[in-house]
Amino acid sequence: MSTKEELIQALYPEDILSVAKDLTEGEVKLLKQLNDLLEEKYRDSINEHWINATEPEDYFEELGKLNYFNNPLLFEGREDARTPSQLFQFFMSYTVAKFDVSLATLLGVHQGLGHNAFLFGGSKEQVAYYIPKLQSHELRTCFALTEPEHGSDVAGGLETTAKKEGDKWIINGAKKWIGGANVADVIPVFAVDVETGKPKGFIIEPNQEGVDIDVIQHKIALRIVPNTNIKLNNVVVTEDKRLQNINSFKDIAKVLYSTRAGVAYMATGAMAGALRATKDYVTKRKQFGKEISKYQLIQEKLAMMQGNLAQAMATCAQLARMQAKGEYDEVATSTAKMMNALRLRESVAMGRGITGGNGILAAEYDIARFFSDAEAVFTYEGTHEINALVIGRFITGDSAFI
């Protein structure tokens, strides 16, 4: 039977700063189960799914079977805890992203944004009803905030409206880039109360009258993720389906801040995936009579990719420590997201360059998938520029958003 240290070495040989050593034995065992599931069930088909823009049909159900919110393995030695550790959550996101960024994004949308919209935004009754079903994957959710004309400025530019009529709300508007809305059971939709001008959250189902959903086509990144447009035409929502604790953009921002760290985690895992894909290539590819891994220029780029990854892992580990203490700091999470996504973009470019012309072949070589998906990670959960402005406001005391 393998020791914890042996399992960590097998799972994360790139962890040169030994970040994973603080995981518990139970956490490592569950991460191995996760890794085995990904490798054994989806490795042979993942590039095909990316090319064809299809999600493995049983992926969501298989993840649910891992019981990653409540698995007893996660509470061995920490019996007083009520939730999985933040370090485990980092490595779970990291492990999936190391395999594929689209699959990590699908997980993050459900586990992070969608789940936390109900957890933070719901009443006690709503939390009691929805959270167990979301955690077990009995229900699937997403997060409908971004609009066709409003992304970074959505805090002050939300155009979707909610009008109160008796004990019902009438929702009108449109959403864009909503990942997985077409396969969700429940969708948290954010709209402005026309009477107060403040945003509120509503629970909508895809098959409701007045809800029209279509999948966005021709993406160059995250092709496995079914990003959607949602049109809302006089959609009726009863008061009991209003998320009772979403009454301002500050309430919505709590969800965003709590999950922005997850994007930093995904960016880091994607760096590890790109490094693995590049290493696998260079140790097999021969040019001028020997494997290209034996050339100095190749090793220098691999060293840079490893260095970027080590720094990103250290940042994520510290962010996990902060959040374990309840310190959900927007400057810290924005810094982690901005820098890790930037280093990811740099790393995949080096990996793509090392692999030459073969690096643009998505069917045969994994690096093409990581290279393309890095562009989406660079943009979502706050663009590089928007996160920079969050940090800049902290440094100077001046807001430069407008």
Which domains are assigned to the chain? 4-135 (1.10.540.10), 154-249 (2.40.110.10), 252-396 (1.20.140.10)
Per annotation, catalytic residue among 14, 27, 147, 381: 381
Residue linked to tokens 């580990």: 317
Q: Which helix (H) or strand (E) holds 115?
A: helix 115-121
Q: Measure CA 10 to chain center.
A: 24
> What is the three-class DSSP state of 176?
strand
Inter-residue contact 201 to 243 (CB < 8 Å): yes
What distance in Å separates the CA atoms of residue 310 and residue 201, rounded to the nearest whole number?
A: 39
What distance in Å separates the CA atoms of residue 201 and residue 171, rounded to the nearest whole number?
A: 11
The verdict on pTM exceeding 0.85 is yes
Which region holds residue 89: left if phi is over 0, alpha if psi is between -120 and 50, else beta? alpha
What distance in Å separates the CA atoms of residue 69 and residue 136, rounded to the nearest whole number?
A: 8
Inter-residue contact 121 to 255 (CB < 8 Å): yes
Cα-trace Rg, the chain: 21
What distance in Å separates the CA atoms of residue 309 and residue 275, rounded to the nearest whole number?
A: 9
Residue 156 neighbours by CB under 8 Å, 6+ apart: none
Burial of 326 (0-12, 13-18, 19+ CB in 10 A): exposed
Structure confidence at residue 150 (pLDDT): 80
Residue 282 vs residues 292, 345, 374: alpha-carbon distances, Å: 5, 20, 21
pLDDT tens string, the chain, 402 residues long: the values are: 789 999 999 999 999 999 999 999 999 999 999 999 999 999 999 999 999 999 998 999 999 999 999 999 999 988 888 899 999 999 999 999 999 999 999 999 999 999 999 999 999 999 999 999 999 999 999 999 999 988 777 667 789 999 999 999 999 999 999 999 999 999 999 999 999 999 999 999 999 999 999 999 999 999 999 999 999 999 999 999 999 999 998 999 888 877 889 999 999 999 999 999 999 999 999 999 999 999 999 999 999 999 999 999 999 999 999 999 988 888 999 999 999 999 999 999 999 999 999 999 999 999 999 999 999 999 988 899 999 999 999 999 999 987
Q: Which helix (H) or strand (E) holds 367?
A: helix 366-379
Residue 20 vs residues 16, 23, 79, 136, 241: alpha-carbon distances, Å: 10, 6, 20, 26, 41
What does the DSSP 8-state code read for residue 150? B
381 catalytic per annotation: yes
Which region holds residue 321: left if phi is over 0, alpha if psi is between -120 and 50, else beta? alpha
Structure confidence at residue 155 (pLDDT): 65
What distance in Å separates the CA atoms of residue 386 and residue 382, rounded to the nearest whole number?
A: 6
Q: Across-strand partners of 229?
A: 176, 214
What distance in Å separates the CA atoms of residue 394 and residue 351, rounded to the nearest whole number?
A: 34
How long a stretch of residues is the chain?
A: 402
Residue 261 vs residues 14, 106, 192, 315: alpha-carbon distances, Å: 21, 15, 27, 10
Q: Which helix (H) or strand (E) holds 203?
A: strand 199-204
Around Cβ 365, how many Cβ atoms within 10 Å?
21
Inter-residue contact 380 to 324 (CB < 8 Å): no
**Of 299, 331, 335, residue with least CA distance to 314:** 335
**Of 241, 272, 395, 285, residue with least CA distance to 344:** 272
**Which residue type sits at 276?**
R
